Amino acid sequence: MVPVSATDDLSPADLPRPDRAAELRAALLAADFTADGLLDLLGAPAYAALARSETVPAERATRWPPGGAPPALATLTRLFLLQHAVPRAHAEAVLPLAACLADGWLRQDGDAVRAVVDVRPYGGPAGQDWWIVSDLGCAVGGAAGARRAAAAAGTADAAGAADAAGADLVLGVGGASTTLAGLTVPLDGGRVLDLGTGSGIQALHAGARADSVTATDVNPRALACARLTLALSGAPAADLRAGSLYEPVAGERYDLIVSNPPFVISPGARLTYRDGGMAGDELCRTLVRGAADHLADGGYCQLLANWQHVEDEDWRERVADWVPPGCDAWIVQREVQDVTQYAELWLRDAGDHAEEAGGTPMRAQRAMGDYAARYDAWLDAFAATRTTAVGFGWITLRRTGAAEPAVTVEDWPHPVEQPLGDAVAEHFARQDFLRRTDDAALLATTFRLADDVVQEQVGRPGEEDPEHVVLRRQRGMRRATRADTVAAGFAGACDGTLPAGVILDAVAQVLGEDPAVLRERTPGVVRLLVEQGFLAPAPPGGAG
Ligand SMILES: C[S@@+](CC[C@H](N)C(=O)[O-])C[C@H]1O[C@@H](n2cnc3c(N)ncnc32)[C@H](O)[C@@H]1O
């Protein structure tokens, strides 16, 4: 373990020093270089396009006539987001230029200046103005973006840039980063570990609520970027530690561990931000397995992961098998890609895709050959492990110490409502309730139907009775479940006034069924409705 405190020199020569980050922040705020300011300047379509790495609309929105002085916000957008050389005088009108040059945020390029890192406005959940620092071209895309940025800046040729900048690139905020941030249980206080901090985005979120944040990364450049992100955003400093996986936090426990790890299942360890360097999905397995030793009682571990779908093996069993003893788990598969789609996605991310290779015909031909060879090697590695597809999803563990932990593994590719942090915490609270409530106690409990539940009737138009009824939640995971007449009637009557058993007796009477049989048969359905949040135990005091 290499602990890195705020006083250590954590400034690789190619990255800025954070000493005067507060001065820079003041200038960015004064120019309204914030998420809201940018949205106003660019308009929603160009703003959204930028988040997809498409810069043309933002280029158009920030052009100004030659000779005129551009607005401060346009200058900063062109400098830090579009990564253009900006006339020195324009930069000087907006930024503490001498300090920015001396501290390495900017570099001189003839009569102009250029950004050394990507500095991207990011709106925090409580309206905070934050900025994320990452490598140029990596704010949204991976190494492919760095390749384009280096070629555009003339610091490397298009084909060589990714490998030259290479292995230790630091990514900005991608879809995975914001997914994890939205999923994170909103603890108040406590100790948080952000494992594989990268740009520091998870540490930034955590720092807004936690008592302390430890952020680790195997890449020292990532730790430097995380420190810059936190300093520039005016967030509390994190305890930054270099090292792999749990190595930097041996013997320590946390109330929350978050990790968007390098989960890509790839043949070889080419790009540190995504290739874990362990075979198959072993890195994710190791993280999940090891979490129990680093979680405080009741603590959560939340991570994004990829897992193999192996011939003649149920992926659910594979991933459930990773869960350490004493932890409840909720594993959600969001997407599955076959091995060809998967290899193409990540070859494109690295800038290996044939379309990415510009330059001379000979270079293009060589790049096509490299692409084919890399693609082939990827498929070889999948074939050798009988992997047919790769699942992507979320894993949340909660250390309960329960002898019989609740492990839920499910496929849920449908749209959800982010942020989901509260819904995640509620899921685990419901598991606690179900574990301590036997069937007799369940029937004696008073439930309330969640406010966001609607009923859909499915059947042929004009038919008197529906083929079936679906109960659907509008919030959170936006769950849907088929319900028979008993379940739908029962759920509809749960208004927090009568115990479940009494409602079932009434439903039995209406349907002409034997109440004893219904009481015997129904607890499983009630459990499912509770587990998925359709029903919640009502607080004492009735419907009120
Ligand atoms: C996908 S990035 C995530 C960055 C950031 N936390 C986010 O949410 O956007 C994965 C990070 O894990 C780091 N990493 C790679 N291998 C690691 C390892 N063995 N141990 C710890 N961190 C590692 C990479 O350097 C990279 O910063």
For residue range 198-208, what is the model confidence (pLDDT) as tens digits? 999 999 999 99
User: Quick check: 543 pLDDT over 60?
Assistant: no
Mean pLDDT value across the chain: 91
68-107 as b/e: b if 16+ CB within 10 A: eebebbbbbbbbbbbbbbbebebbeebbbbebbbebbbbb
| Neighbouring C-beta atoms of residue 500, cutoff 10 Å | 25
Tokens of 393: 């999803």
Distance 274 CA to ligand 1 centre (A): 7
Contact 202, 177 (CB under 8 A): yes
Which pLDDT band, with edges at 50, 70 and 90, does 157 fall under? Answer: very low
Give, using CA atoms, the residue closest to atom 16 of ligand 1.
276
Distances (CA, A) of 102 to 20, 70, 116, 350, 361: 10, 24, 12, 32, 41
- Tell me the best of 192, 217, 286 to mutate to test the pocket of ligand 1, counting ligand atoms within 8 Å of each CB and taking the most: 217
Q: How far is the CA of 154 from the centre of ligand 1 (A)?
A: 28
How many CB atoms within 10 Å of residue 365? 12
Q: How many Å apart are CA 116 and CA 391, to the nearest integer?
A: 36
Peptide bond into 419 cis (omega under 30): yes
Nearest residue (by CA) to ligand 1, atom 8, is 177
pLDDT of residue 6: 42
419 Cα–ligand 1 center, Å: 22
The string of DSSP letters for 305-323 reads EEEEEETTS-HHHHHHTTS
162 Cβ partners below 8 Å, 6+ apart? 143, 144, 146, 147, 350, 351
Domain residue limits, the chain: 17-116, 437-537
| Over residues 513-539, mean pLDDT | 94
The pLDDT value recorded for residue 2 is 46
**Residue 291: other Cβ atoms inside 10 A:** 29
Residue position matching structure tokens 């346009």: 74
Q: For residue 126, count other CB atoms closer than 10 A to its CB.
A: 7
Q: How much is the average pLDDT of 144-157?
A: 65
pLDDT digits (tens, 9 = 90+) for 465-504: 888 899 999 999 999 999 998 999 999 999 999 999 999 9
User: For ligand 1, atom 26, which residue shows the shortest CA distance?
Assistant: 273
SS3 (DSSP) at 394: strand
Q: Which atom of ligand 1 is nearest to the CA of 181?
A: 8
Quote the pTM value: 0.93
CA proximity to 237, closest of 272, 197, 295, 273? 197
- What letter represents residue 437's amino acid? T
pLDDT band at 141 (very low <50, low <70, confident <90, very high): low
Instruction: Round to whole Å and give the CA distance between 412 and 393.
Output: 9
Q: By alpha-carbon position, which residue is closest to atom 2 of ligand 1? A: 273
Distance (Å, whole) CA 270 – CA 273: 9
Q: Which atom of ligand 1 is nearest to the CA of 222?
A: 27
Residue 364 has pLDDT above 80, yes or no: no
> 473: which 2 tokens?
């939640």
Phi and psi for 324 in degrees, rounded to 5? Answer: -75, 155
User: What is the biggest distance separating any 2 CA atoms in the chain, rounded to whole angstroms?
Assistant: 88
Q: pLDDT tier at 139 (50, 70, 90 boundaries)?
A: low
Structure token pair of residue 539: 């607080």
Ligand 1 centroid to residue 219 C-alpha, Å:
8
Looking at residue 233, what is its pLDDT?
98
Q: Which residues line ligand 1 (CB under 6 A)?
A: 171, 177, 180, 195-199, 201-202, 216-219, 222, 244-245, 260-262, 272-274, 276
Q: Return the best residue to mutate from 218, 245, 264, 284 for the ligand 1 pocket (most ligand atoms within 8 A of CB).
A: 218
With tokens 């993280």, the residue in question is 287
pLDDT at 142: 64
Which atom of ligand 1 sits closest to the CA of residue 198? 27
Q: Residue 167 Cα, ligand 1 centroid: separation in angstroms?
A: 12
Mean per-residue pLDDT, 354-373? 71
Atom of ligand 1 at shortest range from CA of 258: 6
Chain centroid to CA 259: 9
Tokens for 101, please give them.
């040059």
305 Cα to the center of ligand 1, angstroms: 12
Tokens 């942020």 map to which residue?
419
CA-173 nearest atom, ligand 1? 9
Residue 171 CA to ligand 1 center (angstroms) comes to 9
Going from the Cα of 222 to the center of ligand 1, the distance in angstroms, rounded, reads 8
